[in-house]
Structure 1
Amino acid sequence: MSQSSSHDYETFGRGSWSETRRIGDILRKETVGGTLLIIGAVLALIWANSPWSESYQSLVSFKFGPESLHLDLTVAHWASDGLLAIFFFVVGLELKREFVAGDLRDIRKAMVPVVAAVGGVVVPALIYVAFNLGGAVGGWAIPTATDIAFAVAILAVAGPFLPSALRMFLLTLAVVDDLIAILIIALFFTDELAVVPLVTALIPLGIFTFLVQKRIRSWWLLLPLAAVTWALVHASGVHATIAGVALGMVVPVLRSEKAGGKDAGPGLAEHFEHRFRPISAGIAVPVFAFMAAGVTVGGFSGLVESWQEPVSLGVMVGLVVGKTVGIVGATWLITRLTGGRMAEGIAWIDAVGVAMLGGIGFTVSLLIGELAFGVGTPEDDHVRIAILSGSLLAALLGTAVLRTRNRVYKRLYEEENRDEDADGVPDVYQTKGDDTA
């Protein structure tokens, strides 16, 4: 891969063709998952505000599971702790894939989305705290998360011809955003830590690691070990989704040297991602959305009243304004500091549109809201309304901005896909000296 000087670095420049194809495959799957997520959330809202709302509340509060193992949980709890562990397992696989074999292994390519993600966390958190000084500051992390499935579903409508670099930027930013959210959950939302179960969890996790490093993929061996790891982490007081991340991060990305090493193709992580991403996007996240989004609004007057609460204002302004300012501001800053420049055909208004879609915070935001205030509290209801309202507003604004540039995007899209050679690699990637794995 050819190297250029720092002054030739392009923000939102094209990545490698192999990475572009991989990101495209992920985006297509996440678009379906995002659509199902939206359907689940809408159905929950309709049911929770219908004459049959009591049946919805009975469903989400129904308990089942072995009480002796402290797993007699409500259906909603199983969705947030159990099903979302699958979602975070896929996140763990994706994080490792990005930093081991993806474009993010190049620190210069990683710098922009990583810094942008940090900006998109810090600014919304500060805005939330400013609205809630002396009050419910414990929810500061709620507006910091971007929901990739929801954002990508909107992106399919907002920018069907959006350049691949901007799509990759949004996906990578959301992945880094998830990593930050994982750290926040682990560090700030563990109330009482039980050391013995946590240390004991290292035993099944260690066996799982040994087996996957040996490229063993037998489900009857791995799934019980994963389940025991999850149960022990849950018992320790650390949020059980962290177990999903840990399990994903130990799966090898590259093939073993015996199989040919790096040049032999994808490793076990891609196999697991292929198997579990449809379960995550098609079942786990939509079911969680259905269980978490069913808040009783109380008519338009109740909606307006909820919007006026400091918690709601902090979340909504944090998502809509904070995410946009944080992501664009951090991107601008790192571009100036590195002496870089915007890629040809890309303008700062494009970054603004994508950053607005970064304000679609749903799955992880709802989870953090539950951890911060508890399920069923007045603050939790305000948070859920604010997340839904703020995410919808961010989606509408981002769509409006990106649609105004659709003609430009169509031209860039045609340039990216013209003149494919015999290997299916567009000349535009070849001329830039990118990897064509």
Structure 2
Amino acid sequence: MTSPTPAGPQRSRLFARGSFLESSRTAGILRAETTGGILLLVAAAVALVWANSPVRDSYFTLRDTVIGPHALHLDLSLGGWASDGLLAVFFFVAGLELKREFVAGDLRDPRRAALPVVAAVGGMTTPALIYVLWNLGTGGELVGWAIPTATDIAFAVAILAVISTHLPTGLRTFLLTLAVVDDLLAITIIAIFYTDHLSPAYLALGLVPIAAFGVLAQRRIYRAWLLLPLALLAWGLVHASGVHATVAGVLLAFTVPVRRADGSAGRGLAEHLEHLVRPISAGFAVPVFAFFAAGVYVGGGSGLADALTDRIALGIVCGLVVGKTVGIAGSTWLLARFTRATLDDELSWVDVIGMSMLAGVGFTVSLLIGELAFGTGTTADDHAKVGVLVGSLVATALASVVLRSRNRVYRQLCELEERDADGDGVPDVYQHDDNTN
């Protein structure tokens, strides 16, 4: 009797279903992001209507109202408090999620991490290149090269819920992890390229409360009356240093341990804090920022036409719509082409293109980078906002056409996926050997 032929190296599956626990956790996060994204949409719509209404002056007066002590460099407008202060909460949650994904999530496996990392890099470099090509020879406009590089996860997930697609778990997880890596790259860009002046003394002082926060976190001491003052002090000192204050939120998050002190299974401190802070971020911080950032006066049809013929807006629109699609789908195809990875059996490349289009929804971080690049209230910033809004809408429309065309197929797949014939509480699809990872 002949011996069986040894199997060769197993091919990795792109967008494969993760473990049951990880998929369940991802579903919970997506539900929370969906709620936050709907609030974000409402806040942005209210701002746009108010900023173009007969009483629009009251909106801009409110946005530009300055409060805070000058001596501490905290005399900021309400819009500034939203972008510098409230978004630090958003980036704190993003930092917790990023650390958890790479320490204890499915992305701790380098083979799984490769896809969202490569896709995120491709999805940021291509839009930036397209923006630069649009604005070559224009001088100061090139400073906005990073505006179309960001994906807004809350906005994208909210749209995903509205268009009622039943996407496979692997593809939904990809959207979330792609946005997490995207946030890390955006934070790096903000810290390196959009720091106008740097005060090393304030930055060094800011590391002290961050270190103290980390010591308490590592000892699993998470009393609010201890951690919150340290976080606020760290935020203020980083803000005074010239580095954008949202970076403080990420640095604080990176000090939080992911695993339990005794090494047992279960929710660690990072996930616990994320569970506590995410509703504040998604339900308050990001919608308030959207309210102050999205309000732009377009001046009627001619004003909108003028904005959309500006190179800044055109570069952003093309970057979000074309750059994100080509960058993400193209880098994924290259990964499959030049490695042993293959697309999961449930998917087709049309699905990858649809999700790549949806990643062209840039909002929160794109608007923030626009303000940092051109200054709040400037004509260039207004044109950048129009570009972000129009680009996001076009990306949404195109993604909706592609993904809704697959809706019926994935509804049937979801029904099979949820079937639990043996009644053990774990869907049968997670118990097949060929689906374990």
TM-score by length of 2: 0.96
Partner of 2:39: 36
Per the TM alignment, residue 337 of structure 1 is displaced from its structure 2 partner at its CA by 1.7
* Secondary structure in 2 matching 1:138: helix
Partner of 2:4: none
Partner of 1:287: 288
CA deviations on 1:264-283 (whole Å, 9 max, x unpaired) are 31211111111110000000
The answer to whether the 8 Å contact 2:153/2:179 transfers is yes
CA deviations on 1:226-282 (whole Å, 9 max, x unpaired) are 00000000000000000000111111111002xxx0x33121111111111000000
Partner of 2:87: 84
CA deviations on 1:26-66 (whole Å, 9 max, x unpaired) are 00000000000010000000000011111101100001111
Structure 1 residues 94, 5: closer, same or farther in 2, change over 3 A?
Answer: farther
Q: Which amino acid aligns with 1:309?
A: D
Matched, 1:167 2:185: no
* Gap regions ≥5 residues in structure 1: none
Matched, 1:417 2:422: no
* Secondary structure in 1 matching 2:71: helix
Per the TM alignment, residue 415 of structure 1 is displaced from its structure 2 partner at its CA by 2.1
- 2:134 is aligned, of 125, 131, 152, to 131
Per the TM alignment, residue 433 of structure 1 is displaced from its structure 2 partner at its CA by 6.4
- 1:56 is aligned, of 52, 56, 59, to 59
Per the TM alignment, residue 373 of structure 1 is displaced from its structure 2 partner at its CA by 0.6
Partner of 1:237: 242
Per the TM alignment, residue 380 of structure 1 is displaced from its structure 2 partner at its CA by 0.1
Per the TM alignment, residue 338 of structure 1 is displaced from its structure 2 partner at its CA by 1.7
Partner of 1:371: 372
- 1:200 is aligned, of 205, 210, 223, to 205
Q: In the aligned structure 1, how far is the partner of 2:335 from the partner of 2:76?
A: 45
Partner of 2:432: 431
Structure 1 residue ranges, 4+ long, deviating more than 2 angstroms after superposition: 4-8, 157-160, 419-423, 432-436
Structure 1 residues 5, 336: closer, same or farther in 2, change over 3 A?
Answer: farther
The answer to whether the 8 Å contact 2:93/2:253 transfers is yes
Partner of 2:405: 404
Q: In the aligned structure 1, how far is the partner of 2:43 from the partner of 2:136?
A: 34
CA deviations on 1:136-176 (whole Å, 9 max, x unpaired) are 11100000000000000001123431111110011110110
CA deviations on 1:311-356 (whole Å, 9 max, x unpaired) are 0110000000000000000000111222222111200000011011
Partner of 1:221: 226
Per the TM alignment, residue 421 of structure 1 is displaced from its structure 2 partner at its CA by 4.2
Q: In the aligned structure 2, how far is the partner of 1:369 from the partner of 1:305?
A: 18
Partner of 2:21: 18
* Secondary structure in 1 matching 2:340: coil
Q: In the aligned structure 1, how far is the partner of 2:116 from the partner of 2:126?
A: 15
Q: In the aligned structure 1, how far is the partner of 2:111 from the partner of 2:32?
A: 28
Q: In the aligned structure 1, how far is the partner of 2:160 from the partner of 2:222?
A: 34
The answer to whether the 8 Å contact 1:17/1:434 transfers is no
Q: Which amino acid aligns with 2:233?
A: V
Partner of 1:318: 319
* Secondary structure in 2 matching 1:69: coil
Q: In the aligned structure 2, how far is the partner of 1:182 from the partner of 1:253?
A: 21
The answer to whether the 8 Å contact 1:131/1:314 transfers is yes
Q: In the aligned structure 2, how far is the partner of 1:10 from the partner of 1:206?
A: 40
Q: In the aligned structure 2, how far is the partner of 1:420 from the partner of 1:184?
A: 49
Identity %: 61
The answer to whether the 8 Å contact 2:429/2:435 transfers is no
* Gap regions ≥5 residues in structure 2: 1-6
Q: In the aligned structure 1, how far is the partner of 2:31 from the partner of 2:329?
A: 25
Q: In the aligned structure 2, how far is the partner of 1:307 from the partner of 1:201?
A: 41
Q: Which amino acid aligns with 1:279?
A: I
The answer to whether the 8 Å contact 2:165/2:404 transfers is no
Q: In the aligned structure 2, how far is the partner of 1:92 from the partner of 1:238?
A: 17
CA deviations on 1:379-410 (whole Å, 9 max, x unpaired) are 10000011011001101110110000111111
Q: In the aligned structure 2, how far is the partner of 1:157 from the partner of 1:420?
A: 31
Q: What CA RMSD, in Å, does the superposition of the two structures yield over aligned residues? A: 1.3
TM-score by length of 1: 0.96
Q: In the aligned structure 2, how far is the partner of 1:246 from the partner of 1:435?
A: 34
The answer to whether the 8 Å contact 2:165/2:403 transfers is no
Per the TM alignment, residue 422 of structure 1 is displaced from its structure 2 partner at its CA by 4.0
Structure 1 residues 5, 63: closer, same or farther in 2, change over 3 A?
Answer: farther
Number of matched pairs = 429
Q: In the aligned structure 2, how far is the partner of 1:5 from the partner of 1:419?
A: 32
Partner of 2:3: none
Matched, 1:155 2:160: yes
* Secondary structure in 2 matching 1:191: coil
The answer to whether the 8 Å contact 1:40/1:287 transfers is yes
Moved more, 152-161 or 285-294: 152-161
* Secondary structure in 2 matching 1:8: coil
* Secondary structure in 1 matching 2:257: coil
The answer to whether the 8 Å contact 1:7/1:340 transfers is no
Q: In the aligned structure 2, how far is the partner of 1:403 from the partner of 1:202?
A: 48
